[in-house]
Amino acid sequence: MTPFGLRVRNLRKSRGITLKKMAADLAISAAYLSALEHGHRGRPSWSLVAQICDYFNIIWDEAEELQRLASLSHPKVTVDTSGLNPTATEFANLLAHEIRNVPEARLKEMLNYLKSISGRQ
């Protein structure tokens, strides 16, 4: 599941809307919406994010946050370490191989650290 998919799913469920109804209301397939929620599809388009914001009557900061989550929700990531030091390349490769084995608490620590250095907290 991606951060965007989790947020959309929580919005939908908190309002008591079925996946099938939301998909029909947005004129997309239920299979696509399910795949988007579960992280089996790539980033949604800006227009779909805007449709979802309209659907849930989300404005301003919350809409901006949903767009930010969409931009960070591609389930297949490529990390370009060309031009960086060998440690960065080793880190990226080990993370790719071992991310499934990293405990949730450690992932959160690493995520919070990355957010702090990028100014995204």
Q: Which CATH number covers residue 29?
A: 1.10.260.40
Report the candidate in 40, 2, 34 with the shortest Cα–Cα distance to residue 18: 34
Number of domains in the chain: 2
Residues 65 and 29 both lie in one domain: yes
Residues 8 and 58 both lie in one domain: yes
Q: Which domain holds residue 90?
A: 86-118
As a whole number of angstroms, the distance between CA 95 and CA 89 comes to: 10
Residues 41 and 66 both lie in one domain: yes
Residue 96's pLDDT band (cuts 50, 70, 90) = very high
For residue range 58-92, list pLDDT tens digits in order. Answer: 999 999 999 999 998 888 889 999 999 999 999 99
